Amino acid sequence: MALVRWKNRNEVAPWSALRDLEADFNRMFGNVFGEVAPSERKWAPAADLKETADAYTIEADLPGVKKEDIELTVLDDTITIKGERKTEKEGKDAGYHCVERRYGGFQRRFRIPGGFDAAKVKADYEHGVLRVTLPKREESKPKQIEVKVN
């Protein structure tokens, strides 16, 4: 095996072949396991799940989604956020040069450890952010136990 010295930065970097090989493997195995190219993926909104002493809070970014197009479903200890962001395009003659935003249906499902009180769930939607508050059940809230000394 010959030793090759890289003389200047404008030449091909030594790791570019490895990155190309990785991209080929990702493309090959992604297709085998049913994954699709990034341009063909469905839209999935980003979400945060936060826990406090009294409740869990989910905040989901849903820019461009109307309140009427959002559906929340509760089943046991799982909450599902489902909806659709509709396309703004009027057809091929709309003058678009590049379309990167995703449109279409989406669904996010969150299993809440310890469950929550489904009767007290609240949801607010403001400035494209959905905030869902899931109060903890009384039996799942932490309890402080006093330690007695004899």
70-129 tens-digit pLDDT: 999 999 899 999 999 887 665 566 677 777 777 888 999 999 988 899 999 999 999 999
The domain that holds 126 is classified in CATH as 2.60.40.790
What is d(CA 36, CA 53) in angstroms, rounded to the nearest whole number? Answer: 40
Number of structural domains, the chain? 1
CA-CA distances (angstroms) from residue 109 to 44, 73, 90, 131, 136? Answer: 11, 9, 32, 14, 18
Lowest model confidence (mean pLDDT) among 13-22, 60-69, 72-81, 132-141: 13-22
Query: Averaged over 3-14, what is the pLDDT?
Result: 57
Name the pLDDT band for 135 (thresholds 50, 70, 90).
Answer: very high
Compute the CA torsion angle 14, 15, 20, 23 (nearest 10 deg).
180
Query: Under DSSP, is residue 96 helix (H, G, I), strand (E, B) or coil?
Result: coil
What is the DSSP-derived secondary structure letter of residue 19?
A: H
72 phi and psi, to 5 degrees? -110, 135
pLDDT (tens digit per residue) in 36-80? 555 455 678 999 999 998 999 999 999 989 999 999 999 989 999
Tell whether 97 is covered by a domain.
Answer: no
Whether residue 32 is contained in a domain is answered as no
Whether the model clears a pTM of 0.75, i.e. scores above it, the answer is no
In a domain, 50, yes or no: yes
In a domain, 66, yes or no: yes
**Residue 83 belongs to a domain:** yes
Parent domain of 76: 43-87+102-140
Report the phi/psi class of residue 147: left, alpha or beta, with left for phi > 0 and alpha for psi in -120 to 50: beta
